[in-house]
Amino acid sequence: MQLTHALVRRPTSNFAAGLTTANLGSPDYTLALAQHQAYCTALRQAGLQVIEWEGDAQYPDSCFVEDTVVLTPHMAIITRPGAASRRGETLAIANYFAAFRQIVHIEAPGTLDGGDVLQVGHTFFIGLSERTNEAGARQLAELVQREGFHTRLVPVHGVLHLKTGLTAIDTRHFVGTSWFAEQLPDLEVFVPPQEEWYAANSLPINDWLLVPSGFPSVRNFVTRLGKKTIEVPMSEFQKMDGGLTCLSLRW
């Protein structure tokens, strides 16, 4: 599927007050803004029209916009984030997509973060994590199955979200942690050295793959597959449990 658009939200001045388990220190806000602009530049290089919103200081995690909605050709499935402090982020997203998608919602007791949803061709892999429970995963599965998609539920371990530890380079090749390679033995999962597992969150866009800077084994693997790569500095977002996929919505 050829992607044409991306929606992003800039980090807010209180970005460091967001949720994190990374224990990598406090992010540098000025550097985070510069890295976010580099990210937007990479999206444009990959062929996308980028819609840039300001962040919402009520929600210091609001730059991680992917967690708020799952997009299909006909629906915008508004999530119910697993962190209660983030649930207010979804209102602006629902209002925006109501202009050109049917709006549906994940309902309590379900919880769902978009970071736990990986679409690969006609299959949605849905992670069961600390942020996405089985009730939320099954609601999403039922919704996307109505549009003819297949679904697979995948337990998440050792990382925050499914896509924190698993990237689809294309419909056949994946990069992931050893956990996901074991959970999905029917897939071709390249497992980089453990010190490079952060790069398991990379972002395929059309003919390109965005990869975080500083992880050569993943970049080299992807290059051998014939994929063009764009390296993006991500150090300040890594400190806040963030990765390349969660900083945008693409359609």
pLDDT digits (tens, 9 = 90+) for 200-239: 999 999 999 999 999 999 999 999 999 999 999 999 999 9
Which amino acids are annotated catalytic? Answer: 161, 246
Q: pLDDT tens for residues 184-197?
A: 999 999 999 999 99
CATH number for position 131: 3.75.10.10
Structural domains in the chain (count):
1
pTM value?
0.97
Per-residue pLDDT at 39: 99
Q: Is the Cβ–Cβ distance between 81 and 87 less than 8 Å?
A: yes
Could you list the residue range(s) of the whole structural domain that residue 150 is in?
Answer: 5-250
